[in-house]
């Protein structure tokens, strides 16, 4: 499993987080900052929100450190769960 991937069981939910690295075309070091997105499903396979089997959080802010980007996505996912999956 990649260090840019995290899976979290938050019963009854399952959170999958994936981070991306910014690509800086033409730079001496083309690798830039990190950002992450999350997908929330249910452990029992039931719909997460209304009739949707997944609730997706788009890419968040950019961070210099990978762990900061992963942590941001986890916080946003847990906030969405606690807030009852608000319409995006």
Give 5-54 pLDDT, tens digit per residue. Answer: 999 999 999 999 999 998 888 877 778 899 999 999 999 999 998 899 99
* 31-42: strand order across its sheet: 5-10, 13-23, 31-42, 55-57
What span, in angstroms and rounded, lies between the C-alpha atoms of 52 and 66? 29
Nearby residues of 22 by Cβ (< 8 Å), 6 or more positions away: 31, 32, 33, 34, 35, 62
pTM across the whole model: 0.88
DSSP 3-state of 3: coil
What span, in angstroms and rounded, lies between the C-alpha atoms of 38 and 27? 29
What span, in angstroms and rounded, lies between the C-alpha atoms of 25 and 49? 39
Identify the pLDDT of residue 77: 97
């Amino acid at each position: 499993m990649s260090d840019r991937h995290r899976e979290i069981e938050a019963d009854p939910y399952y959170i999958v987080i994936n981070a991306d690295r910014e690509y800086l075309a033409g730079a001496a070091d083309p690798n830039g900052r990190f950002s992450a997105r999350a997908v929330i499903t249910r452990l029992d396979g039931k719909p997460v929100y209304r009739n949707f089997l997944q609730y997706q959080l788009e890419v968040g802010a950019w961070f210099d450190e990978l762990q900061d980007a992963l942590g941001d996505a986890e916080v946003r996912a847990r906030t969405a769960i606690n807030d009852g999956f608000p319409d995006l």
